[in-house]
């Protein structure tokens, strides 16, 4: 009987070990911790770019996770800025946010660039997409050239550098832990690691 109990305990510990995730294998610790909420919320940031086909394919996994994420979790999109072209796309994201149409336009921009075989040859094609969805070119231009959008874009560029982002999509939890599809071994596993990291942060905060 004692041998059976011992075996069950060992199996239990083994299962627990398998359920966990390992630093340097499934996730990484940022070289320098970044600002994060201190009010009991846990912040989860996705660094992405509309030009990235991997980000487009990752979107359904984000949408699925957002439907079940805890209320205490604050999710934020940050358009990564590695070049002038990416900076322009970042301004488009923040212009949509300023105009109050980000939720509607976010999937449409991705779809125009990577889905349904549509061809986006220039930034003007993306502006036309806004106009086709009820945002006049004048309003979009005003937003794109606004101080607010410029400030948000500069901050996104700064965050891309300070968070050590070298590729997208990348997920950062509470300004401290980073994971992605490579570390998590597939898009479908990323938010399993994220959920683990959220619990880890909560334990650290107690």
Walk me through the domains of the chain, giving residue ranges and CATH numbers.
24-205 (3.40.30.10)
Residue 119 is predicted with a pLDDT of 77
Residue 4 is predicted with a pLDDT of 47
Residue 189 is predicted with a pLDDT of 97
Residue 14 is predicted with a pLDDT of 38
Q: What is the pTM of this model?
A: 0.89
58 near 169, Cβ under 8 Å?
Answer: yes
- Distance CA(177)–CA(179), nearest Å, equals 7
16 near 9, Cβ under 8 Å?
Answer: no
Q: Which residue has the tokens 């449409």?
A: 108
* Residue 149: partners with Cβ closer than 8 Å, 6 or more residues away: 91, 94, 95, 98, 143
- Which parts of the chain sit beneath pLDDT 70? 1-19, 117
109 near 132, Cβ under 8 Å?
Answer: no
- Distance CA(89)–CA(140), nearest Å, equals 13
91 near 109, Cβ under 8 Å?
Answer: no
Kind plus residue range of the DSSP H or E element containing 151? helix 147-162
168 near 182, Cβ under 8 Å?
Answer: no
Q: Is the dihedral of CA 97, 87, 170, 178 positive or negative?
A: negative
- Give the distance, in angstroms, between the CA of residue 151 and the centroid of all CA atoms in the same chain: 20
């Amino acid at each position: 009987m004692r041998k059976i109990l011992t075996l069950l305990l060992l199996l239990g510990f083994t299962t627990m070990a398998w359920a966990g995730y390992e630093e340097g294998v499934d996730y990484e610790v940022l070289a320098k911790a970044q600002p994060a909420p201190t009010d009991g919320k846990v912040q989860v940031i996705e660094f992405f770019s509309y030009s990235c086909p991997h980000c487009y394919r990752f979107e359904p996994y984000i949408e699925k996770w957002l439907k079940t994420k805890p209320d205490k979790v604050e999710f934020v999109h940050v358009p990564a800025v590695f070049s002038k072209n990416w900076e322009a796309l970042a301004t488009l994201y923040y212009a949509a946010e300023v105009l109050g149409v980000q939720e509607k336009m976010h999937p449409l921009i991705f779809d125009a660039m990577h889905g349904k075989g549509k061809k986006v040859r220039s930034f003007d094609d993306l502006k036309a997409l806004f106009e086709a969805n009820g945002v006049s070119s004048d309003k979009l231009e005003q937003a794109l050239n606004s101080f607010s959008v410029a400030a948000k874009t500069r901050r996104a560029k700064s965050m891309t550098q300070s968070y050590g982002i070298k590729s997208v999509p990348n997920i950062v939890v509470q300004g401290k832990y980073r994971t992605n599809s490579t570390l998590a071994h597939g898009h479908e596993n990323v938010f399993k690691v994220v959920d683990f990291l959220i619990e880890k942060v909560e334990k650290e905060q107690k």
